[in-house]
Amino acid sequence: MSVADMAHFREQLKTYGGFRTNTIALELMQLLFLRTVEIRRGRWEDVDLEAALWDIPAEFMKKRRRHLVPLPPRAVELLKELHSITGGRGLMFPGLRHPDKPVDGSTFNRALERLGMKGFTCHDFRATASTHLYESGLFRGEVIEIQLAHAEGNQTKAAYNHAQYLPERVEMMRWWQDFCLSAVNE
């Protein structure tokens, strides 16, 4: 997704007429570059808005490893708003028909289509973040890959290195937020 596409996405978010929860989910996907399933299954008990940290349990992650997600200020703001809508339930994004189950897997991609983002899927937010973060030259590859929740390819290294690089990731997520928000102004 180019900077122009990012600007188009952010402009379209302002006028989206669908459910506010879907708008929040899409913006969180851009800001946090989590997998769609991780957003959909999000539970309020795993989010600490005061600490600005989302601690996703291993059972909800693709690689079955706990994943810490530093929340930049805009994500905290969005999650506070979302909490006022769905905070009385366990799930952050409950389904309409079955509130005890997450929203359907295609919901957010359909919302993206309605925004006019033809040819893009929610997974593209991950590739976009990775590309722009690497191209910035500001962040180490290990830090970017940990934030993407990618597994270390070297099994020996993976067995011994449990570093989370949290201070660098907090800085990176704030930079990414600012980059996303500034795309509208370019």
Task: List residues with catalytic annotation.
Answer: 35, 62, 123, 126, 150, 160
Residue 67 CA to residue 109 CA, distance in Å, equals 23
Residue 85 CA to residue 96 CA, distance in Å, equals 13
Q: Find how far residue 144's CA is from the centre of its chain.
A: 13
- Tokens, residue 131: 């590309």
- Tokens, residue 134: 């690497």
Q: Is the dihedral of CA 59, 108, 102, 88 positive or negative?
A: positive
Helices assigned H by DSSP within the chain: 3-15, 20-32, 36-40, 73-86, 107-114, 124-136, 141-147, 155-160, 166-182
